[in-house]
Each structure stands twice: as structure tokens, then as C-alpha cells.
Amino acid sequence: MASVNKVILLGHLGRDPETKNFENGGSVCSFTMATTESYWDKEKSQRVDLPTEWHNIRITRPGLIKIAQQYLHKGSQVYLEGSLRTRQYQTKEGETKYFTEVSVNDMVLTGGRPNGEAGAPSGHTEMSAPVAVPASMGDDDLPF
């Protein structure tokens, strides 16, 4: 039987990314990310936001760490794809604690350019708004 461990998140950073460098030359970047779902309540004719979910994010790929360090900050909007990982550690009292986080495989910057920055990171796209298909384009206009 097959299984899948895939996480897709679109949200905002809760804090600036923190990077730790190790003696072996490796590094890891971590931050928290907030996501909020909402729906339209027809009876009240208003949008209802569900409680905000907080996610622990971990990046270990050197290229993505560099982009995170350079372009992400508290409040930045970002799209992430990755998988769930659970780690454990021992407290000083000897109690075992578990920590679940998203291990990032791919990242796309989705917010606008902060403070008029001229360039975007190579290989990634910054979008200020989603691309819209013209309403005049019907099914008959599609080439397939």
C-alpha cells in the first residue's frame, strides 16, 4: 500500500527566519508560519475566518536557505511545499517531547516586492496578484 506525506501551505511568516550553521558546513533555517482559512456565511452575508494555525518551518536545502535569508522577513507571504517531520528531544527532567514541523522542498515568494526591491531571486517568481483569465474567453476559444 502506498502512502504520501505532502504539505502545501500559503501563509505569512510569524517571525524573521533564523539560520544556524554547523561545524560540518551544513545549515538550517527555521521560522513560524501562520495560515488562516475562511468561508462565506450565506446567512450573515459575511466572510468568517477560522482560527489561525501556526506551523513550524524548517529549510535544509542550501539554495532555499539563501533565498529565505535574503528575501523573507516577518509578515512575508510565501508558498511552501514539503513534508511533515516529527523530531523528539529530552527535557532536563528526562521527559520525552515531540516537535512536528514542515520540512521544505520547494518555495515560491508570493508577496509583493518589499520597499521597492528591484530584483527577484533567480529561479523563483514574485507575484503581486494571481493571473486572471479574461471573462470573454469561452470554452470555444480553447485550442484543445
Tell the burial category of 29 from Cβ atoms under 10 Å away from its Cβ (0-12, 13-18, 19+): buried
- Phi and psi for 94 in degrees, rounded to 5? 90, 5
Write out pLDDT tens, residues 7-22: 999 999 999 999 999 9
Rg of the chain over Cα atoms, rounded to whole angstroms, equals: 19
CATH number (domain holding residue 36): 2.40.50.140
d(CA 6, CA 80): 10
Task: Output 139 or 87, whichever has higher pLDDT.
Answer: 87
2 in a structural domain: no
Q: How many domains does the chain have?
A: 1
136 in a structural domain: yes
pLDDT of residue 79: 96
114: region left, alpha or beta (phi > 0 left; psi from -120 to 50 alpha): beta
Write out pLDDT tens, residues 72-131: 999 999 999 999 999 999 999 999 999 999 999 999 999 765 554 444 443 343 444 333
Note down the domain range covering 21.
7-141
pLDDT of residue 127: 40
30 in a structural domain: yes
1 in a structural domain: no
Q: 39 - beta bridge partners?
A: 48
Write out pLDDT tens, residues 27-49: 999 999 999 999 999 998 999 99
